[in-house]
Amino acid sequence: MICTIYSHQLGLERIKEILQSNITNAKISNVKDDDESDIIELEIKEGILSAAQKLVISYRERAIPSYQIPEIDDSALTANLKGLYGFVDSLPTVNEKVKDLFLQKILTLNCEFTITQEKGEVKDLKSILKNIANELDAVLFVQPDTVISKSNGQHFLDKNLDLIIDTEGNCEIENLDVKINSIYFDGDQSELTEDQMERKENNEKILETHNIKINRNLPCIESESETTLRTPKEIAQRVSILAVVNLVAFNSISPEEATDYLQNYKLWEFTTEKEKEFLANPTDDKKANESWKCEGIWVLMWALNKIDTLDFPNEFCDIENIDPDDYPVGEDKDPNIFIDSITAIRSKSEILDANDLYYRFNWACVDERINGREMEAINPGIVYERQYALNWLINYMEQDWDYITCDT
């Protein structure tokens, strides 16, 4: 194998076009292998008496192209990219800036193809590889002793075939472009509003203050003009149901009592299917998972102005610190009185500020986990649960409570 090429762009057909334009006398054929990679075979013969040359390219791409690596693998390539990220992150370097940019670029990669020279030596192969790399804004994982090698060990090259990093930490470039196709963003990042840019900048300063890793290429979340918050009544109903279910998680009431309570006060129809399944069979494991929803309750009570601040996510919230008069449920307490009393919530700007911050917190937590490190500055579980509730508040991707995703 000569190298493996990675790109954000999906490029099987473009690769074939480049090969055909550079090697006019090549016979190109396609096959599928057992792991469903696309195989391109090039048979090249310069003349009747010359020996044949053969290149084989094995191509695969992610099931869901993106600009980030999801927590749950969507393909074998995604799993490979997680390993690649960890490998690069472990390398020493003489240029931290380039290494950091390279790590950000790895998150955006959507396709991979290996190039193997099976027969003979293809004429102008270096030029062909450079043309492919330039066309796809690619990075290359290269073995030593090849036509494009720049190191005695395994190493990475940029689209110009210059050294990004090798196992000794060497580097011969000063910058590395990280380009992302706008179609993969949740919103169009080409026309950012002032509130989006200011929110991102302010929250990155918070991360910097606490020495939490920053992904400068993590995009902005939705603008205020693009966002429709949940209504005050929706939030009050949701937090009331969560509070009842949470009592079961902490063994304060039985699931039967909780079900009767929600039915008696006309909240059963707003209880989600997963919450109903939990109340029907609240095992110890399910109770442990449900107990984390304290952090979601805390976020929603903050949104309703019942608590002053979310506090830094390094310590668990304490629901008992909320004034009982401000809490929606309790013995002989009608939650609908609480629900009907809620007519306003925090501003869209405040809620989006928090959502953007927890989005960046969660990216840092995921980055640590991918690399086998423990996040010490903040608690990843608290961060996840709070981002979950914040995503619900801003109607992220119009997802219902049971199906909120915390993308990074």
Q: Using CA atoms, how far apart are residues 268 and 266, in angstroms rounded to an integer?
A: 6
At residue 135, the pLDDT reads 87
Q: Does residue 187 register a pLDDT over 50?
A: no
Q: Does residue 140 register a pLDDT over 90?
A: yes
Mean pLDDT lowest for which of 185-194, 250-259, 282-291, 363-372?
185-194
Mean pLDDT on 178-198: 69
Mean pLDDT on 291-311: 96
Q: Does residue 337 register a pLDDT over 80?
A: yes
* Secondary structure element (H or E) that encloses residue 156, with its range: strand 155-157
At residue 291, the pLDDT reads 94
Give the count of alpha carbons within 13 A of 32, CB side only: 3
Average pLDDT of the chain, as a whole number = 88
Q: Structure tokens of 81? A: 């990219």
The answer to whether 155 touches 163, Cβ cutoff 8 Å, is: yes
Q: Using CA atoms, how far apart are residues 371 and 210, in angstroms rounded to an integer?
A: 20
Q: Structure tokens of 366? A: 């995921």
At residue 38, the pLDDT reads 84
Mean pLDDT on 146-153: 93
**What confidence tier does 177 reach under pLDDT thresholds 50, 70, 90?**
confident
Q: Using CA atoms, how far apart are residues 348 and 17, in angstroms rounded to an integer?
A: 49
Query: pTM here?
Result: 0.61
At residue 31, the pLDDT reads 62
The helix/strand/coil state of 379 is coil
At residue 188, the pLDDT reads 47
Percentage of the residues of the chain whose pLDDT score is greater than 70: 92
